[in-house]
Structure 1
């Protein structure tokens, strides 16, 4: 099927489009005959430098989690499309690896300029509001973080250095080079797609790899805007390929992609449940993975903390984008003398936040109705186990809308303490000693981010080093933009590996032997 081109050089599937029926929220299953009106944003495949429909003609639609109205549609990649994307990336790899560091750097800098342009930001903001019900703060986070991180990634060319050393063989010389690995398969989530495309796509690219990227099925069009900006900045055909997938096809296509011999590494950002499935698939082929998975970030508030500052950071860290971040503050561990003033301050700050329509509210819908139902179930279980609901009515305020909740006395054995809730809920625990606080902070299988509040900087360093977390923020929020570049956990449910130059290059050794070698048996 040959796509038609519009004036913006974007591919448009042939045919006259009919409006899709509304759904309450989320994704409509793939349907080869499903089409949509021309004014509905459409995410095409990007394979070998061409914007294309799926070779089967299949598409899927995305609906606003707040209104249920049609937000976008996307081509639903098939097995043939995925193979074509991988093979295009494989063919493009030798030339891209040989491209100068300056060229790679300049492409990323041009893409950063595009992401900072008024035209691109307006289009991206509309897409995020439609597909994700993003409030203004979440939109601005993505729009600010994206170009800033791209510029930082562009400078990583300076880390692509090798080393030389004398060989153990007299007269020989050893050269150690950083070399790209090949085709990287990158899976991007929906909750912070702009900075995460930058980190898990642009970093492999600047290292000389080629990439096949799958966006979240919840925001294919929003993600396509970032991929297009990178491609249009000057990436050669095949270096970056984009394959949206319908929800029902993801498990099968993921297995096929991982099994493809040209795919060298998999990077995934998302839930620990899916991360485990991908890890098992990758293990079948002994392929390495880089995972940034869930979080259950603790905020430890000691008795000498600045309560006003701590409460502001906890509210920002716990309720930004309704808590839908892997580094959201989910657990608050507070020393008993400051419990009441801390809770009072948190409630006061939460009382100023509005919940509802993303156009004019601070907090809006969660990404699906079923997710909102799951969070309420976790809160009810915690209450039944003896926890006290200090704020919140344990009811939905809309199909996927949930108001902030504060739960005191959450038992470590309950799901609300153990599992990533990914919602606007704080689980509070009270301790008497610092040792108890550290023990509770570490009583989790997650290890992504944490924060610590105290005025004693010397004690802060001591306590921070005892908290097992990939990132500990002293007197700052767990939600920290510096986390976005290279953040991963220390294993377990938060994942493993780092999104950095080390993860996407191999150190290869070349030994130059002396002209007259010495070998066994007098040879």
Structure 2
């Protein structure tokens, strides 16, 4: 199988390059690649929707159809839950070592096929191919990480206060886990959740984002080849029309023990309400409104570098993107000028498959419309457009990388998550003011601060009400560190030592008497 995938990838790669140069459509990859699937995956079988309905997956850069998948509904999802529940009865009895070995195989397969997996991401998501390759490395890292974490799940022997009793704690898998994942990281957000669940001994029913199901189905192929048993990892695909009812069933089913969701805070709240009647455990990684604070003492080169990486990665479409740039007044003008220069030098808008592209399309035209609305709101309220500020002529889903100065707290770019390539820069005077501005939001996922003052690094980092803080650093995501937020940015943590796998475990206290 590995030889077959490698040969297919080479053929696909040659054809892709030829077609890009010639300006021809690239949707032939559906036929050329063994990792492109047009069926959902339940109980180890590739299946259609019971209704026979399908929907198309399109490339946001070109509008071309790159694949089609089943548009599944409640009946299909109920069947997947039943199959996952049945598989759980056996899978929970497997050893941690056995599960570890299968996840290690998945890691190896993902790395061997990383270029093909990356191209699938770019075709359905639009992000530049270099970023897609980085995502596959990141996503594969969770296969490897949780393969190791699973073997370190330990209970405890507790010192008993009673001479005739022994006290033990055991950690056991929680059960069937429902997962709803986003389109911005269609590989890594799945492996970050699913590999933790599988390592713990749980089974999974996953609904991937409607825009990017092909990456999820490619993971099914990888897991199948790695030997993950039937019914352990199940993927139900559906379009927007069926998404609410499918999500509702995942939350309300008594056979599902946990719902894990990455997405907006508004949707997360709905899922939590729907999960209440079954007292279901909820793991939520929700929206952000990240402050990016730069003090007068900061290394300006380092701050601009961090701003570029934290703001414009994935065309500004990550939950930890810098959303509000708060710059101390002493270096405000210099920072704006330097950031503008860096944008001119480093950012290039285009098709993600085109060499040199750093800024692909937004996920769809609606997303570009939202960004345009935010920029117009800022302009109407006094912001100055330093760079960009308009739709790109590359395509309807593209927006120019934009830099706004004189931004105030009353503008949409300050109050709401932008999810696009717009950097709005505001000015502050004191440390106290910066902290107040940064914390003045219901979100609390990620924050950034740049300062050359060591004492200030600690003071501000501790004062920020965020689950993740980058201190003089714009990129911090790694499987080894816990990922999650404060306040309305979520519940629980993903990744990290102990944290990520603990979401999928129950603690049992066992008291042994008559000793």
TM-score (norm 2): 0.89
> Which residues in structure 2 correspond to 1:219-230 (within 5 Å)?
219-230=212-223
1:514 corresponds in structure 2 to 514
Contact kept, 8 Å, 2:55 with 2:71, in 1: the verdict is yes
1:471 Cα deviation after fit: 0.8
1:457 corresponds in structure 2 to 454
Cα 1:277–1:355 change in 2 (3 A) is same
1:39 Cα deviation after fit: 6.1
1:147 corresponds in structure 2 to 140
Q: Distance in 2 between matches of 1:456 and 1:482?
A: 26
Counterpart pick for 1:72 among 44, 63, 67: 67
Counterpart pick for 2:348 among 341, 348, 354: 354
Residue 417 of structure 2 corresponds to residue 420 of structure 1 = yes
2:43 corresponds in structure 1 to 48
What SS class does the counterpart of residue 509 from structure 1 fall into?
Answer: strand
1:407 corresponds in structure 2 to 404
1:429 Cα deviation after fit: 1.2
1:245 corresponds in structure 2 to 238
1:408 Cα deviation after fit: 2.0
Contact kept, 8 Å, 1:169 with 1:513, in 2: the verdict is no
2:502 corresponds in structure 1 to 502
2:376 corresponds in structure 1 to 380
1:485 Cα deviation after fit: 5.2
1:455 Cα deviation after fit: 1.4
Aligned residue pairs total 478
Q: Distance in 1 between matches of 2:215 and 2:414?
A: 33
1:207 Cα deviation after fit: 0.8
- CA deviation profile, 1:174-202 (whole Å, cap 9, x unmatched): 11011111000011111112221111111
1:297 corresponds in structure 2 to 290
1:113 Cα deviation after fit: 0.3
> Which residues in structure 2 correspond to 1:33-112 (within 5 Å)?
41-112=36-107
Q: Distance in 1 between matches of 2:460 and 2:172?
A: 39
What SS class does the counterpart of residue 74 from structure 1 fall into?
Answer: strand
**Further displaced range: 107-116 or 279-288:** 279-288
Contact kept, 8 Å, 1:336 with 1:432, in 2: the verdict is yes
Q: Which has the larger radius of gyration?
A: 1
Q: Distance in 2 between matches of 1:294 and 1:331?
A: 14
Q: Distance in 2 between matches of 1:131 and 1:395?
A: 21
1:257 Cα deviation after fit: 2.3
Contact kept, 8 Å, 2:165 with 2:511, in 1: the verdict is yes
What SS class does the counterpart of residue 419 from structure 2 fall into?
Answer: coil
1:159 Cα deviation after fit: 3.4
**Further displaced range: 481-490 or 36-45:** 36-45
Q: Distance in 1 between matches of 2:194 and 2:435?
A: 35
**Further displaced range: 306-315 or 251-260:** 251-260
1:277 Cα deviation after fit: 1.7
What SS class does the counterpart of residue 315 from structure 1 fall into?
Answer: helix
1:51 Cα deviation after fit: 1.3
TM-score (norm 1): 0.88
- CA deviation profile, 1:199-243 (whole Å, cap 9, x unmatched): 111101111111101111111112211232123211111111111
1:93 Cα deviation after fit: 1.1
Contact kept, 8 Å, 2:42 with 2:83, in 1: the verdict is yes
Q: Distance in 2 between matches of 1:284 and 1:161?
A: 31
Contact kept, 8 Å, 1:489 with 1:496, in 2: the verdict is yes
What SS class does the counterpart of residue 390 from structure 1 fall into?
Answer: strand
**Further displaced range: 500-509 or 224-233:** 224-233
Residue 395 of structure 2 corresponds to residue 395 of structure 1 = no
Contact kept, 8 Å, 1:269 with 1:292, in 2: the verdict is yes
> Which residues in structure 2 correspond to 1:254-403 (within 5 Å)?
254-352=247-345, 353-358=347-352, 359-360=354-355, 361-397=357-393, 398-403=395-400
1:519 corresponds in structure 2 to none
Structure 1 residue runs without a partner (length 5+): 1-6, 9-35, 516-523
1:37 Cα deviation after fit: 8.3
Q: Distance in 2 between matches of 1:355 and 1:438?
A: 34
